[in-house]
Amino acid sequence: MEDYRWEYHLVQDSQKNAWCMPGGKILFYTGILDVAANADGITTIMGHEVAHALLDHGGQRMTISLAQQGLNIVALKATENQLEKKRKAILTAYGLGSTIGAVLPFSRKHEKEADHIGLELMAIARYNPEEAPKLWERMKATSGGKAPPDFEYPSV
Protein backbone atom coordinates (compact mmCIF):
# COMPACT_ATOMS: atom_id res chain seq x y z
CA MET A 1 0.00 0.00 0.00
CA GLU A 2 2.98 2.31 0.15
CA ASP A 3 2.51 3.07 -3.56
CA TYR A 4 -0.95 4.47 -2.92
CA ARG A 5 -1.40 8.22 -2.65
CA TRP A 6 -4.88 8.32 -1.19
CA GLU A 7 -6.83 11.40 -2.19
CA TYR A 8 -10.49 12.05 -1.57
CA HIS A 9 -12.26 14.74 -3.56
CA LEU A 10 -15.77 15.99 -2.93
CA VAL A 11 -17.27 17.47 -6.09
CA GLN A 12 -20.27 19.79 -5.98
CA ASP A 13 -22.48 17.96 -8.47
CA SER A 14 -25.95 16.41 -8.35
CA GLN A 15 -24.73 13.04 -9.69
CA LYS A 16 -25.42 10.16 -7.34
CA ASN A 17 -22.03 8.61 -7.87
CA ALA A 18 -18.54 7.99 -6.55
CA TRP A 19 -15.58 6.36 -8.27
CA CYS A 20 -11.97 5.50 -7.81
CA MET A 21 -8.95 5.77 -10.08
CA PRO A 22 -5.95 3.46 -9.81
CA GLY A 23 -3.58 4.53 -7.07
CA GLY A 24 -6.22 5.61 -4.60
CA LYS A 25 -7.82 8.78 -5.93
CA ILE A 26 -11.50 8.77 -5.01
CA LEU A 27 -14.10 11.16 -6.35
CA PHE A 28 -17.29 11.57 -4.37
CA TYR A 29 -20.18 13.65 -5.73
CA THR A 30 -22.33 15.67 -3.33
CA GLY A 31 -25.45 14.29 -5.03
CA ILE A 32 -24.87 10.93 -3.37
CA LEU A 33 -24.85 12.37 0.15
CA ASP A 34 -28.65 12.26 0.47
CA VAL A 35 -28.62 8.62 -0.60
CA ALA A 36 -25.82 7.81 1.83
CA ALA A 37 -28.00 9.37 4.55
CA ASN A 38 -25.51 8.85 7.40
CA ALA A 39 -21.86 8.14 8.25
CA ASP A 40 -22.35 4.39 7.82
CA GLY A 41 -23.82 4.94 4.34
CA ILE A 42 -20.88 7.15 3.37
CA THR A 43 -18.50 4.52 4.74
CA THR A 44 -20.23 1.83 2.69
CA ILE A 45 -19.60 3.84 -0.46
CA MET A 46 -16.03 4.76 0.51
CA GLY A 47 -15.17 1.18 1.49
CA HIS A 48 -16.48 -0.01 -1.86
CA GLU A 49 -14.34 2.54 -3.74
CA VAL A 50 -11.22 1.85 -1.64
CA ALA A 51 -11.68 -1.86 -2.38
CA HIS A 52 -11.69 -1.12 -6.12
CA ALA A 53 -8.30 0.58 -5.71
CA LEU A 54 -6.83 -2.15 -3.51
CA LEU A 55 -7.93 -4.85 -5.95
CA ASP A 56 -6.58 -2.89 -8.96
CA HIS A 57 -9.92 -3.04 -10.72
CA GLY A 58 -9.16 0.11 -12.72
CA GLY A 59 -6.00 -1.42 -14.16
CA GLN A 60 -7.81 -4.67 -14.93
CA ARG A 61 -10.62 -2.78 -16.69
CA MET A 62 -8.05 -0.95 -18.81
CA THR A 63 -6.41 -4.27 -19.72
CA ILE A 64 -9.64 -5.93 -20.82
CA SER A 65 -10.64 -2.81 -22.74
CA LEU A 66 -7.33 -2.81 -24.60
CA ALA A 67 -7.72 -6.52 -25.37
CA GLN A 68 -11.24 -5.93 -26.68
CA GLN A 69 -9.99 -3.05 -28.87
CA GLY A 70 -7.06 -5.11 -30.14
CA LEU A 71 -9.32 -7.97 -31.12
CA ASN A 72 -11.63 -5.48 -32.79
CA ILE A 73 -8.72 -4.37 -34.98
CA VAL A 74 -8.06 -8.03 -35.87
CA ALA A 75 -11.75 -8.47 -36.73
CA LEU A 76 -11.70 -5.32 -38.88
CA LYS A 77 -8.66 -6.56 -40.78
CA ALA A 78 -9.98 -10.13 -41.13
CA THR A 79 -13.28 -8.94 -42.59
CA GLU A 80 -12.05 -6.18 -44.88
CA ASN A 81 -12.70 -8.26 -48.03
CA GLN A 82 -16.21 -9.31 -46.98
CA LEU A 83 -19.35 -7.79 -48.44
CA GLU A 84 -20.32 -4.75 -46.35
CA LYS A 85 -23.54 -6.30 -45.03
CA LYS A 86 -21.75 -9.49 -43.92
CA ARG A 87 -18.83 -7.50 -42.46
CA LYS A 88 -21.19 -5.32 -40.48
CA ALA A 89 -23.00 -8.39 -39.12
CA ILE A 90 -19.71 -10.03 -38.08
CA LEU A 91 -18.41 -6.88 -36.40
CA THR A 92 -21.72 -6.30 -34.62
CA ALA A 93 -21.72 -9.89 -33.37
CA TYR A 94 -18.14 -9.46 -32.14
CA GLY A 95 -19.00 -6.21 -30.36
CA LEU A 96 -22.04 -7.64 -28.64
CA GLY A 97 -20.39 -10.96 -27.87
CA SER A 98 -17.25 -9.46 -26.37
CA THR A 99 -19.24 -7.00 -24.29
CA ILE A 100 -21.89 -9.42 -23.04
CA GLY A 101 -19.58 -12.43 -22.79
CA ALA A 102 -16.49 -10.81 -21.30
CA VAL A 103 -16.68 -7.15 -20.30
CA LEU A 104 -19.99 -7.16 -18.39
CA PRO A 105 -19.35 -10.35 -16.37
CA PHE A 106 -15.89 -9.00 -15.53
CA SER A 107 -17.47 -5.75 -14.32
CA ARG A 108 -20.09 -7.56 -12.21
CA LYS A 109 -17.32 -9.66 -10.65
CA HIS A 110 -15.46 -6.48 -9.72
CA GLU A 111 -18.56 -4.95 -8.15
CA LYS A 112 -19.18 -8.03 -6.03
CA GLU A 113 -15.55 -8.11 -4.91
CA ALA A 114 -15.64 -4.41 -4.02
CA ASP A 115 -18.89 -4.90 -2.09
CA HIS A 116 -17.38 -7.75 -0.08
CA ILE A 117 -14.00 -6.15 0.68
CA GLY A 118 -15.68 -2.80 1.31
CA LEU A 119 -17.81 -4.40 4.03
CA GLU A 120 -14.74 -5.92 5.62
CA LEU A 121 -12.98 -2.56 5.61
CA MET A 122 -16.07 -0.94 7.03
CA ALA A 123 -16.24 -3.45 9.88
CA ILE A 124 -12.51 -3.11 10.62
CA ALA A 125 -13.03 0.66 10.89
CA ARG A 126 -15.87 -0.05 13.35
CA TYR A 127 -18.70 1.25 11.22
CA ASN A 128 -21.95 -0.69 10.98
CA PRO A 129 -21.88 -3.03 7.96
CA GLU A 130 -25.60 -3.72 8.46
CA GLU A 131 -26.18 -0.31 6.88
CA ALA A 132 -24.84 -1.52 3.51
CA PRO A 133 -27.98 -3.33 2.30
CA LYS A 134 -30.04 -0.29 3.32
CA LEU A 135 -27.75 1.98 1.30
CA TRP A 136 -28.02 -0.22 -1.80
CA GLU A 137 -31.81 -0.24 -1.45
CA ARG A 138 -31.80 3.57 -1.28
CA MET A 139 -29.53 3.64 -4.35
CA LYS A 140 -31.90 1.32 -6.18
CA ALA A 141 -34.90 3.48 -5.25
CA THR A 142 -33.25 6.70 -6.47
CA SER A 143 -31.94 5.21 -9.70
CA GLY A 144 -35.16 3.72 -11.01
CA GLY A 145 -34.14 0.17 -10.05
CA LYS A 146 -30.71 0.33 -11.72
CA ALA A 147 -28.60 -0.05 -8.57
CA PRO A 148 -26.47 -3.18 -8.20
CA PRO A 149 -29.05 -5.94 -8.74
CA ASP A 150 -26.83 -8.71 -7.45
CA PHE A 151 -25.54 -7.15 -4.25
CA GLU A 152 -24.74 -9.91 -1.83
CA TYR A 153 -24.40 -9.21 1.84
CA PRO A 154 -21.27 -11.20 2.73
CA SER A 155 -20.56 -12.11 6.29
CA VAL A 156 -17.91 -9.94 7.95
What is the mean pLDDT of the segment spanning 20-47? 92
User: Among 98, 53, 90, which residue's Cα sits nearest to residue 71?
Assistant: 98
Q: Is residue 70 in some structural domain?
A: yes
Q: What pLDDT is recorded for position 70?
A: 87
Is residue 103, in this structure, part of any structural domain at all?
Answer: yes
Cβ(64)–Cβ(102) under 8 Å?
yes
- pLDDT of amino acid 155: 43
Question: Between 99 and 148, where is the model more confident?
Answer: 99
118: pLDDT strictly greater than 60: yes
Mean pLDDT value across residues 45-71? 85
pLDDT digits (tens, 9 = 90+) for 120-136: 999 999 999 999 999 98
Stretch among 30-39, 103-112, 140-149 having the lowest mean pLDDT: 140-149
Give the chain's domain count: 1
The size of the chain, in residues, is: 156
In a domain, 94, yes or no: yes
Q: Is residue 2 assigned to a domain?
A: no
- Stretch among 3-7, 45-49, 93-97, 102-106 having the lowest mean pLDDT: 102-106
Residue 110 lies in a domain: yes
Residues with a known catalytic role = 49
Q: Cβ(68)–Cβ(94) under 8 Å?
A: no
pLDDT tier at 151, thresholds 50, 70, 90: very low
Mean of all residue pLDDT scores within the chain = 84
- Calpha distance 51→8 (Å, rounded): 14
Residue 147 is assigned to a structural domain of this protein: no
Q: Is residue 40 part of a domain?
A: yes
Confidence check: pLDDT of 61 > 80: no
Q: Which domain holds residue 28?
A: 7-142
**In a domain? residue 151:** no
Give 15's strand partners. none
Residue 149: pLDDT above 60? no
Read off the DSSP letter of residue 1: -
